[in-house]
Structure 1
Amino acid sequence: MSQQPHGYMRVQPTPPAPYNIESGVLHRAKLYPLPEFDGNPEDWPLFYSSFADTTREFNYSDRQNLMRLQKALKGDAKRAVTSLLIFPENVPNILEELRFNFGRPELLIRAQLRKVQSFPNITEDRMEQVLDLSNQVRNITAFFKSARCEQHLVNPTLLEHLISKLPASKQFEWSKHASTVTPFATVETFAEWVGNLAKIIAIMPKVADKATHSTSFRAPRRSDQRPVIASRFLHSSQGNINQQWMCIACNQSHSLEDCPQFKTRNIENRWALVKRQRLCFACLQGGHNLQSCQKKKRCNIQECQRVHHRLLHASSNTHTVTSATTNNAEVVLSCQGECRSILFKVIPVTLFGPKGHMETHAMFDEDSSISLLEEDVANQLGLNGQSSSLTLQWYGENTATEKSRIVSLEVQGNQGGAPFPLKNAPTVKSLNLPSQSFQNYRHFGNLPVASYNNVKPTLLLGLDNSFLGIATETVTNGPSQLIAAKTKLGWLAYGPTDKMDSTSPRVLMIRDPPLSKKICNMVEEYFTLENLGVKAAVIEGEDDMRAKAILKSTAIKIGDRYEIGLLWKQDDIVFPPSYDMAKRR
């Protein structure tokens, strides 16, 4: 055999088995079957090593190996070499073709990286998952060694992916250990370390209990299914074994859809629990997903056509917050309650646009991730911008979506100074911010803090323009007193006052829809315009209108035929003057 790149050997054809002179019959060697191979790159090293070892050990000929390959190859692997599975001399070519299609090192590495990426991040309350991570890391290490790809064990990107699966506390412990490894830590070093960590975690009481319970009953499942998350247990009564459900919401013996506690939760919490436990959206059970669920059907609540359980239905005035939309959420929180009067950070400003300037009031809100401007103000300043959508959500699960524009303008404090640009500020129909009044306090002295009476801000300055609200100077008279702060837009006052006030709570959340939603809206808007039914107006001439009128007024049925007047005939026929022509004749 000759050594090939990446540790693979070319199996040379062997001579036919000799005749036994005494018996005159051909020795028949036992054909040990090869493991089935369907084209999965992860199975290629085992398949090839089994082929090479048995061929070398039992001196199989190409004809015998061809018989073994015909039985072992399945699926994509067999389709790739179907035309070669005829003649024994094609065996070396078959192996080379299989190696190129399914055994190249990059394919093997990519398959292992997919395993790492699909492994979930481990949280502090799910430390038992470290055992699974340890097994996977050790398998990857052994796989790279058996495939003669040891160079990938020093891949820093792969090592970083593996470390990121650990909780923060264990990442810190690994970093301390890695700093003592010379010359540097590798995937093999991490496999040894996480293996020792798994041994410690395995003897923890809670983890040991979970392992005991998990082995007491294990439902049969296919290899492509996730483990069953909804817990089940067995108990014996008078010799009969009964299977019951253990609810993951309240740990009682009933299914999740029958759980009273689960039904009392709001829609967001129900969705969060189902996703956290990786349950099917259609039947609220584990072990499979929505695509493979045999009980899936449409919701049909309020004509909802989505495929999910009826307990997960969000009515028209509610919105289910998923992990994807949460990451794209732009949040604005402004809360007020029945307590001492509180002054928000309101300051008089001057706004500049193409049509001039306008004096108004702005409010700083450190809990807002974006700045907002009222639509009327944007129109008065002549601001133009790209259309967008904003989804407004209040407590009580009330939502509303309105059209918006992304505009840019300039803002200046009323105490002078250079104007500052405000870029990419969305507009809203009405901010509905609380109105407030302020009269200069005595302990502020001669500070130029502007007084105002019953003003309502039309501009909200969020964290995207937080540099405007940085306080360079502050003046205070002690705890629970107003604070004066100097910002780039001038002096302002905020904080608690001695006046008692009662106002309704205000909580506003504004979410910027994700890119996929924007694309859906664009496609929907496009087809809406295409289906307006607007057609080009057909302008008829006088002759056409007159012909239609004659057709309508003269058409009569006589027998099995219709009689219609002359459509081209004029009512006032004027003959050309022919007297002179007739006289010349």
Structure 2
Amino acid sequence: MGPAAIIDELAPTHRQIAARHVMPKDLPLFSGNSEEWPMFFSAFNTSTEACGYSNVENLGRLQQCLKGAALEAVRSRLLLPTSVPQVIHTLQMLYGRPEQIIYALLQKIRDVPAPKADNLCTIAAFGMAVQNFSEHLEAAGQVQHLSNPVLLQELVDKLPANLKLDWVAFKRQFAAVDLRVFGRYMANLVSAAAEVTLTLDPRGSKQKREEKLKGFVNAHAATSDATADEAPKVESPKAASQISCLVCGNPDHRVKDCDVFKKMDRDDRWQVVHNYYLCRICLGKHGRKPCRSSSRCEVLGCQMRHHPLLHGDSGSSSTNPSHPIPQRGGAGQRSDATEGVNAHNVQSSTLFRMLPVRLFNKGRCIETLAFIDEGSSVTLLEKGIADVLQVEGTEKRLCLTWTSNVSREEEGSRQVEVEISGISGGKRYPLKDVRTVESLALPAQTLCYKELAERFPHLRKLPVVDFESKAPGILIGAKNTHLTATQQIREGCVGEPVAAKTRLGWAIYGSMPNGTNVASCNLHICGCDVDRSLHELVKQYFTVENVGVSVNQSPESNDDKRARAILEQTTRRVENGFETGLLWRYDYVEFPNNYAMAVRRLRCLERRFNADSSLFDKVQRQIAQYQQKGYIHEATEEELAEADQRRLWYLPVGIVRNPKKPNKIRIVWDAAATVNGISLNSMLLKGPDLVQPLPDILCGFRERKIAVVGDIMEMFHQLKIRQADRYSQLFVWPGETGRPPKTFVIDVATFGSTSSPCSAQFVKNLNAAEQAEQYPRAAEAIVRRHYVDDYLHSFDSEEEACQVVEEVKLVHKRGGFTIRNWLSNSGAVLRQIGDTEARATKIVGEGGPEAERVLGMQWRATEDVFVFSSDTDLGAYGAL
């Protein structure tokens, strides 16, 4: 195969522009399967040459189509358009070598079941595989492999006796016999089979349901046999197919577009799929015919082949692609539509007996994690994995019973057989009597062999494969003990992990000494936040009603404790201020590539600039000011290449105006923008609430005669973010005409980030605490009289006000903050503190002189009165 045709210097011709309207722009998905490389490479070359795609356009196409191992192999190069040729070269080197493709096709043809004389479908499947193999060898110029007598005899041996005799008669017509001749022979058989049968679907007719089979998990026997309930009666599939939408009956749309179906709970959607025998991939009704759709779920990066509507809400889907299908009716699960993903940081003291394996069926292969449990009487496989492998089997209802007689039923369970091997290859073993379940929902586990080997000498020099935050997709029970039986064992001291060799590889398991973090993050689906909005409303009600009432502070949640620990560990004093880290929700964070999304958002902003050139000038000046102040800097290619590629995240730029401050614009970075259901804010914690209650601030502001108001200049931007976290705060900005956008790094806390308010308050209070011994009154005022960046205080005398304000300014300055925009009802105080200029934002009161806006209220400082307009929320300030 020749080099990729990549066009970047020349503008597309008229013919190429016309071709763009005819040829699809999207490339076929490629995940690192050598068998798929020829089609992917051909599509890339053909479309690039025919449509004149540039490197910039090809970069976006590659970011969309590459998945799995292929994406990981070139992820670091999918940042700049100039790297596109290197990306294609790397992929071709890894997955497109002729010997790789031939080996993949050879394995596929060997895995095709032997044809049966009484089943024309199997003959057709075998014949098409032989044809594809021989034709590809010719197209790739590897004709020497066509004369392999060993392979030819291996394929002939698969034929039934009568077809072998026919082959002998057929080959006598040719002087030289090779795979091409055998391919012609099989082509004749396929053509004849097609003429005498209506369908060549090898899966056969639909199998009937059988009786419920009862199994026991974890060696807990049931006290009595459970009686299987009758399956729910549903409308005849044939009758149901007479209408377009099987849910609401509307002939104008199908199930996937039905609003009634979309509003259902996840469990109810699955029930509709089961009741009407719908395809879980396209939600259509095509019986046993293979689904033509090649799409995948893509929710939170899920690569399993089911429709996104069956994955649950984006916020409730598992981030682990090995078990994307939610459990129905399992213990501890809820059917609420507003579920969320809860992550618990655990310092586990136990390694479960897990090891990575490969599962095979019909030439398909998938890697997953196996949980070895001799206490289970059955082997369980997640249905999502079985669907990817296209495993067929008898459908039997299954009842699982475990501790305390807790049980659950799997009505759609199938009894299947697959082949299994270790992750490093080797011999394949049959797995018998495997039962499918909707979801195992077993805990995720991380195993870092290098760290374990350094700490425990008895574990060294073992062929152990690492895995990180991965949940098992298969549970191997007692009926397959021959695969998990211990052949060799390595033991250390009491309380240390054990390594055991099985036919599937080495597994490390057992108790861990204190201080070893086994699993950094366990994920599970939790519906405990269903009534959060109601709780928030009640909380707000009592907050207003209980102004002035002091109550004991409630215990911090686990998330708040984690956020506080991050703040305490990462915050440090640097030159002219403080530096801290982002409040990561998980120990391990990996973002999808969102560069293309950020560029699209930038193009939308540029259209807004084209309509209002003055807006662009204002924003450009502000960007330049941010560079001068050290808030942002332009990133170099070397800097981006050295950064942790898993944590690179581009924040779309937004421009907001305050209708009450029409001449002022503010640049914000959209930390809520998502790709595959993931955003920066979804990976950050909000942190504990360190802001003083607003009613307390306002009441204290009106306690005494002399009132003073000030605010901190650009408070969030005064807080520096540590180096390791800055590359999760990138943004793109227009470069020179005809050039790719520039990439900037935000070095400070941003507006829009969910963790910025908490981090800023923590640093403000920490700085005050460090100065409390020298300036006790100023430290107390900074902690108790600040609402975010606004400082509101009152005093008995002008002298006291001037003294405390000067100390507050000094303490803030030592923390890198500048407090300004002073306002007071005393002119003497204003003259003394050295801020006689008027505040920048003036609000005109109703029928009166100019008034200042103070935390949502209008205050005429010279008259010391408040002006309540018709839209003022009097309830919040009733105590005033």
Instruction: Verify same fold: TM over 0.5.
Output: no
| Higher alpha-carbon Rg | 1
